[in-house]
């Protein structure tokens, strides 16, 4: 599912949807009851540096962590602020559930042990967006604790985060949006060399395959019921240009036997890569639409020297190697117009080749792309660099230590030192739009249309949940299962015309 060290670190996440369901189920099953762990609340009141039951006996495995040049933190483990990974499946340390982390300028304890939830020392809670459920949020939300969101996956995994009231619950974010605090925008692009790799199948060979009957356009998708509603678009496109479709969605060709096992693989398996590289164009439609949400569907054809025909991020052009490397679906008024354009490129080698000029030395002219690849601190499939989970954890650690220091300075000398400014996320950190039909207008869809019955509803129900959770927090509730009641109450007030 993911290219980065994530697969290695987080077996559970690699299971995709099943991993998610499994995680939800586990946390639900282990949810104690309405009662607060009193022992833990007690710890809040007793103050910062008490010995704490959950952590006291733990051994802190000392893996050689990266200590930045600005880190002269000499505090012992029991004095460090704690970061709690609420989504334990993502906890980026092995073995054990607690680890000292030494970051660029300061140190923290990172743990996945939920017993520390209400401790005063626990300064921040880190969530994985895909797992985040309003009905199992850590409540009551303590004033001194910040919330941090890690969400690199599709917007479809959790629309709660795409609404203002949902995203504003978080103080720090790492998402695919460039506006987030710790952006993961190019997470699926391993390196510049990946883009510069020589064209995998020459144009002469592609033209020969065309004469033998291979379509110009490839579609390979097995996840069909998705918010971007891509099949509806591709189905219309197929009326005007031949498309070879091997996946479960809109299938019109059997997948060769030797590829069957890898049909849904997003990996870079050789035979699969060679198979898809023969096409002049690859349809690359993301499962959810959101600014800066781009996946391997886009980067892989660029790597292979096939032209991606793309829909996903509305601002994808900002990250392309140059202004002539992808065909952007939304630049065309209709599938028919797109088909005509693709046919023209198919018949004109010079025009086709222009799309591959970025493979030449100095062909990558996009300064934003070059700079982002140059300056990002995390690596993709690169063991010499931290992965982005550890990177974000350290981002939170350093920011929390800075905030604590500013608060201490303020308490000591309020006149000289203003209190630190509150910091919270906003819609620019995620903010994915209401799903719309892949082709045509929503009012023209049949009432029993499967997509219509699923995704717009999911989107608006997510808004209810975000508002419900915000209400629980505002009322200092400790039982997240009161969410449903709050949602109901809000609906009743709305119906009565109260705000
Ligand atoms: C791409 O950029 C070049 C150089 O800046 C410009 O001359 C050309 O018109 C642009 N092409 C498109 C399709 O925008
Ligand atoms: C964190 O976000 C919450 C909710 O938006 C906000 O009330 C709080 O002031 C923020 N905390 C800090 C330290 O900025
Ligand atoms: C939203 O957050 C971004 C970056 O975190 C900030 O630059 C921007 O001003 C914020 N927008 C609003 C409307 O508060
Ligand atoms: C919120 O609730 C908790 C536990 O129910 C309580 O200890 C705390 O004092 C409350 N905070 C506020 C601000 O009312």
Where residue 276 sits, what CATH number does that domain have?
3.40.50.11660
Q: How far apart are CA 53 and CA 111, in angstroms?
A: 14
135 plus 223 within the same structural domain: no
| Structural domains in the chain (count) | 2
459 plus 363 within the same structural domain: no
Question: Is residue 146 classed as helix, strand or coil in its secondary structure?
Answer: strand
Distance of alpha carbon 477 from the chain centroid: 29
Q: Where are the beta strands (DSSP E) in 211-261?
A: 217-219, 243-245
CA-nearest residue for atom 12, ligand 3, is 426
Tell which residue, 457, 464, 465, 468, has the closest CA to residue 434. Answer: 457
Helix 335-347 × helix 230-237 angle, to 10°? 60
Tell which residue, 205, 189, 198, 216, has the closest CA to residue 356. Answer: 198
Band of residue 30 on the pLDDT scale cut at 50, 70, 90: very low
Residue-level pLDDT at 95: 86
Band of residue 28 on the pLDDT scale cut at 50, 70, 90: very low
User: What is the average pLDDT across 162-182?
Assistant: 98
Residue-level pLDDT at 33: 25
Report the run of H or E that residue 100 belongs to, with start and end: strand 98-102
181 plus 213 within the same structural domain: no
End-to-end CA gap in the chain: 43
- Encode 213-252: b = buried (16+ Cβ within 10 Å), e = exposed: ebbbbbbbbeebebbbbbbbbbbbbbebbebbbbbebbbe
Q: What percent of the chain is predicted at pLDDT more than 90?
A: 78
Q: Which residues contact 181 (CB under 8 A, 6 or more apart)?
A: 172, 173, 174, 395, 425, 429
Distance 241 CA to ligand 4 centre (A): 63
Is the predicted pLDDT of residue 459 greater than 60, yes or no?
A: yes
Tell which residue, 263, 260, 305, has the closest CA to residue 282. Answer: 305
Distance 427 CA to ligand 3 centre (A): 8
Q: Does residue 22 lie in a domain region?
A: yes
At 39-65, the pLDDT tens digits run 333 333 333 323 333 444 343 444 445
Task: Please say which residue of 374, 389, 421 terminates a domain.
Answer: 374
Distance 390 CA to ligand 2 centre (A): 23
Residue-level pLDDT at 256: 87
Q: How far apart are CA 89 and CA 10, in angstroms?
A: 6
Q: Does residue 243 lie in a domain region?
A: yes
Distance 15 CA to ligand 1 centre (A): 43
Residue-level pLDDT at 11: 28
Least confident of 68-72, 250-254, 304-308, 389-393: 68-72
Tell which residue, 211, 325, 345, 210, has the closest CA to residue 279. Answer: 210
For 263-269, the CB contacts below 8 A with 24+ separation are 263/220, 263/222, 264/222, 264/223, 266/1, 266/295, 266/296, 268/300
CA-nearest residue for atom 11, ligand 1, is 323
Least confident of 8-17, 242-251, 252-261, 453-462: 8-17
Least confident of 32-41, 119-128, 205-214, 257-266: 32-41
What does DSSP say about strands 82-85 and 107-111: parallel, antiparallel, or unpaired?
parallel
User: What is the average pLDDT across 177-189?
Assistant: 97
Residues with CB under 6 A from ligand 2: 146, 168-169, 171, 422-424
Q: Does residue 141 lie in a domain region?
A: yes
Is the predicted pLDDT of residue 187 greater than 50, yes or no?
A: yes
User: What is the average pLDDT across 238-254?
Assistant: 97
Q: Does residue 130 lie in a domain region?
A: yes
Stated pTM of the model = 0.86
Q: Where are the beta strands (DSSP E) in 315-427?
A: 327-328
Tell which residue, 365, 372, 368, has the closest CA to residue 318. Answer: 368
Task: Please say which residue of 374, 402, 422 terminates a domain.
Answer: 374
Q: Which ligand 4 atom is the nearest neighbour of the CA of 41?
A: 7
Tell which residue, 49, 47, 98, has the closest CA to residue 75. Answer: 49
* The Cα angle at residue 134 between residues 130 and 136, in degrees rounded to 5: 95
Band of residue 38 on the pLDDT scale cut at 50, 70, 90: very low
Residue-level pLDDT at 262: 53
CA-nearest residue for atom 10, ligand 1, is 323
42 plus 182 within the same structural domain: yes
Residue-level pLDDT at 361: 86
Q: Does residue 1 lie in a domain region?
A: no
Is the predicted pLDDT of residue 260 greater than 80, yes or no?
A: no
Residues with CB under 6 A from ligand 4: 36, 140, 476, 478
Distance 171 CA to ligand 2 centre (A): 6
CA-nearest residue for atom 14, ligand 2, is 422
Q: Does residue 2 lie in a domain region?
A: no
The count of C-alpha atoms lying within 13 angstroms of the C-alpha of 394, restricted to the half-sphere facing its C-beta, is 21
Task: Please say which residue of 332, 351, 374 terminates a domain.
Answer: 374
Q: Does 67 or 294 have the greater pLDDT score?
A: 294
Q: Does 27 or 179 have the greater pLDDT score?
A: 179
445 plus 352 within the same structural domain: no
Domain residues for the domain of 207 are 192-374
Q: Which ligand is nearest to the CA of 323?
A: 1
CA-nearest residue for atom 9, ligand 2, is 422
How high does pLDDT run on average in the chain?
Answer: 86
248 plus 313 within the same structural domain: yes
Residues with CB under 6 A from ligand 1: 323-324
């Amino acid at each position: 599912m993911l290219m980065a060290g994530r697969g290695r670190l987080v077996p559970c996440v690699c299971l995709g949807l099943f991993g998610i369901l499994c995680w939800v189920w586990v946390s639900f099953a282990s949810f104690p009851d309405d009662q607060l762990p009193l022992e833990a609340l007690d710890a809040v009141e007793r103050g910062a540096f008490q010995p704490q039951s959950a952590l006291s006996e733990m051994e802190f495995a000392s893996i050689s962590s990266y200590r930045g040049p600005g880190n002269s933190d000499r505090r012992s483990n029991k004095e460090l602020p704690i970061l709690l990974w609420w989504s334990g499946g993502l906890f980026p340390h092995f073995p054990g559930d607690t680890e000292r982390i030494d970051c660029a300028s300061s140190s923290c304890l990172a743990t996945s042990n939920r017993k520390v939830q209400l401790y005063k020392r626990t300064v921040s809670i880190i969530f994985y967006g895909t797992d985040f459920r309003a009905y199992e949020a850590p409540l009551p939300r303590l004033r001194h604790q910040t919330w941090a969101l890690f969400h690199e996956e599709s917007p479809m995994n959790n629309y709660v985060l795409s609404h203002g009231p949902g995203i504003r619950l978080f103080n720090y974010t790492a998402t695919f949006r460039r506006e987030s605090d710790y952006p993961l925008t190019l997470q699926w692009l391993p390196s510049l060399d990946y883009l510069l790799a020589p064209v995998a199948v020459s144009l002469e060979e592609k033209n020969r395959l065309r004469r033998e009957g291979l379509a110009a356009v490839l579609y390979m998708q097995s996840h069909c019921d998705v918010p971007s509603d891509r099949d509806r678009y591709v189905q219309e496109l197929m009326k005007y240009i031949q498309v070879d479709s091997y996946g479960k969605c809109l299938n019109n060709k059997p997948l060769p036997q030797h590829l069957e096992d890898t049909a849904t693989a997003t990996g870079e398996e050789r035979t699969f890569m060679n198979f898809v590289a023969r096409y002049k164009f690859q349809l690359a439609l993301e499962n959810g639409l959101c600014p800066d949400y781009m996946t391997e569907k886009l980067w892989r054809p660029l790597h292979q020297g096939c032209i991606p025909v793309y829909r996903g991020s509305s601002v994808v052009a900002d990250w392309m190697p140059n202004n002539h490397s992808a065909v952007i679906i939304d630049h065309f008024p209709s599938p028919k117009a797109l088909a005509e354009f693709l046919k023209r490129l198919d018949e004109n080698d010079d025009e086709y080749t222009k799309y591959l000029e970025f493979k030449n030395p100095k062909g990558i002219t996009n300064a934003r792309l070059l700079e982002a690849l140059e300056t990002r601190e995390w690596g993709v499939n690169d063991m010499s660099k931290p992965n982005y989970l550890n990177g974000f954890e350290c981002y939170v650690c350093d920011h929390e230590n800075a905030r604590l220091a500013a608060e201490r300075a303020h308490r000591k000398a309020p006149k000289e030192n203003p209190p630190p400014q509150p910091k919270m996320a906003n819609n620019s950190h995620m903010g994915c739009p209401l799903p719309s039909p892949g082709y045509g207008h929503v009012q023209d869809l049949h009432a029993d249309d499967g997509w219509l019955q699923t995704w717009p509803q999911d989107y608006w129900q997510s808004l209810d949940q975000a508002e419900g959770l915000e209400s629980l927090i505002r009322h200092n509730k400790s039982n997240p299962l009161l969410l449903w009641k709050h949602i109901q109450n809000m609906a009743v007030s709305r119906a009565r015309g109260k705000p």
